[in-house]
């Protein structure tokens, strides 16, 4: 199976790999997937008090498409409001990366990671 | 500078040896006769070549040329052996014993027979993928007509204690089929030593052409089969269809070379495998060997790199042809049935890579691959949340993961 150029680019030059301080009250951490399924994504978002995502970092255990999906998502969410970040869909991720049908779950996981990170942030802030 | 791409997937297939190709070429354009044509020299020449090839292939496994049936490949050989025995001897019993780590050609054939009234026992293996011969004894009943066990596993290279298994099968009076696709020509294998009744072989795993296989069928005592294909009654009525003469000539040549060169070649390949293993494990921690440390074919090294997903790793090693037990590309997302049968956790199964070393692998290639693996695993571990968590001392099994 051939990967798209965009998947290869994100895989070879992943954006925003790293770790934010999970104890920072402004950092939301989303950890989704399962090792037994071959995919785990951790997405961390630093969100300021105006609800704008100032920074995003990821680490992913998974195939090239999983790494590319998480890398892409970090690029997309930076500078966005929490509300706008929540509007990112797996379909948009899959389309941007030209993921084949068997890799759609990677984009679903990336969408889930955004939701999980924001939910964690809101929980910390007592917003939920 | 090493030439890329590097082929390190010799359990999937092998290139045709140039000596094999040379032996085959005259049989395409010059000696093109149908081996079944009895009335002219073209047919006689083709038949003679096919008969010589039978001897060459049989000789590799200690059998006689008259016991060889040509097929289109090992999948057909296996289907013919299992279905052929099951059908011909159905009145003797309808129970088959096999093993969970067998190739799909065996497992799926058995599953089909189950749907038509046969009972099949799928035996467990130990953590190294080895079968306990006593488990075969316990599984066999008065109804057991066939035991089907591979000589060496295609994914993890584990070699079963076939001699001990064969003795038990014979003691109990069933037929014994051995899938010797990965073993023949790689390790010593003798049909009489393991007391096999049927042995499936493939040309393209031993530097012969694709699309050519053989089923060795014991003549004394005679083993009979119900054929799958009806037609001209070739191959003593067991496999109708015109013989692929250039193909079987190539198979014969490949088998002869394999037999002659086995001692030297297997020692050289084993040294390369050990070199690869040592180079990788001296640089990386948390690397698990899948399969058995000693009872394995020389050309197979199967490793799990903890916290790195296999397909992701193969993408980093894109100038090296490898395969992975991760089934990330399959719709089911199920990892290798072989690693599962060995009790390898799913996450480590997803992290597995099979390195297949063979006749044309060089030391330079091994060194290059080892260096690329070390570099890529380090890079991917730096990117892996699991590696970071493990390094922090978090027990990954304590986390409530969301299966997807």
pLDDT digits (tens, 9 = 90+) for B35-47: 999 999 999 999 9
Q: In this structure, what token pair is assigned to residue A83? A: 């509300």
pLDDT of residue B331: 52
Q: In what order do the strands lie in the sheet with B323-324?
A: B287-290, B300-305, B352-356, B323-324
Q: Which residue in chain B has the smallest CA separation from A63? A: B312
Asked if B401's CB is within 8 angstroms of A60's CB, the reply is no
Return the pLDDT at A74.
97
Using an 8 Å CB-CB cutoff, list chain B residues near A109.
404
* Best mutation target, A38, A99, A116, A117, to test chain B (most B CBs within 10 A): A38
Average predicted confidence (pLDDT) for chain B: 96
- B304-351, pLDDT tens digit by residue? 999 999 999 999 999 999 998 775 545 556 789 999 999 999 899 999
Query: Which residues of chain A neighbour B385 with C-beta distances below 8 Å?
Result: 31, 40-42, 59-61
Q: Are strands B95-99 and B144-150 parallel, antiparallel or unpaired?
A: parallel
pTM of the model: 0.94
Does A37 participate in catalysis according to the annotation?
Answer: yes
Taking CB atoms and an 8 Å cutoff, what residues of chain B touch A59?
A: 383-385, 388
Option in B309, B331, B345 nearest A61 (CB)? B309
The pLDDT tens digits for B343-373 are 999 899 999 999 999 999 999 999 999 999 9
pLDDT at A62: 94
Task: Tell me which residues of chain B have a C-beta less than 8 Å from any C-beta of chain A.
Answer: 307-312, 315-316, 326-331, 333, 335, 345-347, 350, 382-388, 396, 399, 401-404
Q: Smallest CA–CA separation between A101 and chain B, in Å?
A: 9
- Residues of B whose CB is below 8 A from A112: 402
Our CA-based measurement puts residue B349 at a distance from the nearest CA of chain A, in whole angstroms, of 8
- Please give the average per-residue pLDDT across B178-195, as a whole number: 98
Q: Is the pLDDT of residue B404 over 70?
A: no
**Nearest beta carbon to residue A62 from set B309, B346, B387:** B309
> Does the structure show a pLDDT above 90 at B56?
yes
Cα distance from N-terminal residue to C-terminal residue, chain B: 44
pLDDT tens across the length of chain A (128 residues) = 678 999 999 999 999 999 999 999 999 999 999 998 899 999 999 999 999 999 999 999 999 999 999 999 999 999 999 999 999 999 999 999 999 998 999 999 999 999 999 999 999 998 87
pLDDT at A53: 97
The two structure tokens encoding residue B65 = 């040329």
Question: What is the chain A residue with the closest CA to B350?
Answer: A38
Nearest residue of A to residue B344 by CA position? A36
Q: Indicate yes or no: CB of B401 within 8 angstroms of CB of A11.
A: no
SS3 A60: strand
CA pair distance A30, A120, nearest whole angstrom = 7
Query: Chain A partners of B350 at a C-beta cutoff of 8 Å?
Result: 35-38
Measured between alpha carbons, how far is residue A118 from residues A20, A113, A125, A127, B193 in Å?
A: 14, 9, 11, 11, 66
What pLDDT does B325 receive? Answer: 75
ipTM exceeding cut-off 0.90 for this assembly: yes
**Do the chains contact at B347 and A60, CB–CB below 8 Å?**
no
Whole-angstrom CA distances from B157 to A66, B307, B393 are: 30, 23, 33
The active-site residue, picked from A67, A85, A94, A106, is A106
pLDDT, tens only, A20-50? 999 999 999 999 999 988 999 999 999 999 9
Alpha carbon A79 to chain centroid, angstroms: 14
Asked if A38's CB is within 8 angstroms of B385's CB, the reply is no
pLDDT at B334: 74
CB pairs under 8 A between A and B: 97
Nearest CA in chain A to B399: A34
On the question of a common fold for B6-12+262-390 and B18-258, the answer reads no
What CATH number belongs to B18-258? Answer: 3.40.640.10
Average pLDDT of the segment spanning B115-120:
98
Catalytic residue numbers of B, as ranges: 328
Residues of A in contact with B330 (CB under 8 A): 102
Q: Spell out which residues of chain B touch residue A64, defining contact as CB-CB under 8 Å.
A: 311-312, 315
Residue B400's pLDDT is: 85
pLDDT at residue B302 above 90?
yes
CATH number of the domain at B6-12+262-390, please?
Answer: 3.90.1150.10
Least CB–CB distance from A38: residue in B309, B399, B402: B309
Indicate the domain borders of chain B.
6-12+262-390, 18-258
Q: Do A35 and B386 count as a contact with CB atoms less than 8 A apart? A: yes
Predicted local confidence at residue B329, as pLDDT: 46
Residue B285: phi and psi, rounded to 5, are -95, 175
> Distance from B305 to chain A by nearest Cα, in Å?
12
CB nearest B333 (choices: A3, A14, A37): A37
């Amino acid at each position: 199976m051939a990967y798209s150029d965009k998947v290869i680019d994100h895989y070879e030059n992943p954006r925003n790999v790293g770790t934010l301080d999970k104890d920072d009250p402004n950092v939301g951490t989303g950890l989704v997937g399962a090792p037994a399924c071959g995919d785990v994504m951790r997405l961390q978002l630093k969100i300021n008090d105006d609800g704008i995502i100032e920074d995003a970092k990821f680490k992913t255990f998974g195939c090239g498409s999983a790494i590319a999906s998480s890398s892409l998502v970090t690029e997309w969410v930076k500078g966005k409001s929490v509300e706008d970040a929540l509007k990112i869909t797996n379909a948009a991720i899959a389309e941007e990366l030209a993921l084949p049908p068997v890799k759609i779950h990677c984009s679903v996981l990336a969408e889930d990671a955004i939701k999980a990170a924001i939910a964690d942030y809101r929980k910390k802030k007592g917003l939920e | 500078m090493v030439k890329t791409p590097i082929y390190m997937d010799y359990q999937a297939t092998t290139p045709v040896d140039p000596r094999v190709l040379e032996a085959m070429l005259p049989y395409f354009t010059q000696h093109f006769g149908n081996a079944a044509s009895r009335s002219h020299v073209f047919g006689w020449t083709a038949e003679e070549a096919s008969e010589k090839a039978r001897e060459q292939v049989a000789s590799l496994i200690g059998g006689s040329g008259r016991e060889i049936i040509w097929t289109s490949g090992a999948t057909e050989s296996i289907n013919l052996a299992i279905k052929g025995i099951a059908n011909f001897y159905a009145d003797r019993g309808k129970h088959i014993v096999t093993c969970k780590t067998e190739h799909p050609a065996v497992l799926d054939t058995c599953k089909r027979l189950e749907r038509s009234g046969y009972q099949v026992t799928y035996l467990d293996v130990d953590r190294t993928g080895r079968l306990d011969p006593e488990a075969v004894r316990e599984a066999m009943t008065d109804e057991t007509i066939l035991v089907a066990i591979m000589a060496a596993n295609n994914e993890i290279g584990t070699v079963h204690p076939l001699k001990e298994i064969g003795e038990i099968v014979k003691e109990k009076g069933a037929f014994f089929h051995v899938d010797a696709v990965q073993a023949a020509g790689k390790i010593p294998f003798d049909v009489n030593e393991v007391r096999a009744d049927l042995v499936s072989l493939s040309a393209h795993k031993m530097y012969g052409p694709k699309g050519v296989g053989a089923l060795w069928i014991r003549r004394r005592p005679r083993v009979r089969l119900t054929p799958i294909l009806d037609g001209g009654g070739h191959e003593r009525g067991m496999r109708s269809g015109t013989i692929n003469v250039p193909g079987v000539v190539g198979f014969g040549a490949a088998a002869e070379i394999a037999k002659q060169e086995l001692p030297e070649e297997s020692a050289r390949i084993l040294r390369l495998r050990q070199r690869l293993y040592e180079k990788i494990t001296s640089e990386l921690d948390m690397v698990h060997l899948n399969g058995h440390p000693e009872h394995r074919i020389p050309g197979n090294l199967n490793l799990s790199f903890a916290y790195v997903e296999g397909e992701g790793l193969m993408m980093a090693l894109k100038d090296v042809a490898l395969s992975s037990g991760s089934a990330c590309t399959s719709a089911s997302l199920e990892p290798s049935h072989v690693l599962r049968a060995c009790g390898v956790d799913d996450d480590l199964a997803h992290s597995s890579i099979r390195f297949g070393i063979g006749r044309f692998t060089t030391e330079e290639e091994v060194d290059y691959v080892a260096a690329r693996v070390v570099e890529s695993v380090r890079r991917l571990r730096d990117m892996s949340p699991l590696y970071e968590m493990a390094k922090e001392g978090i027990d990954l099994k304590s986390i409530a993961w969301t299966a997807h």
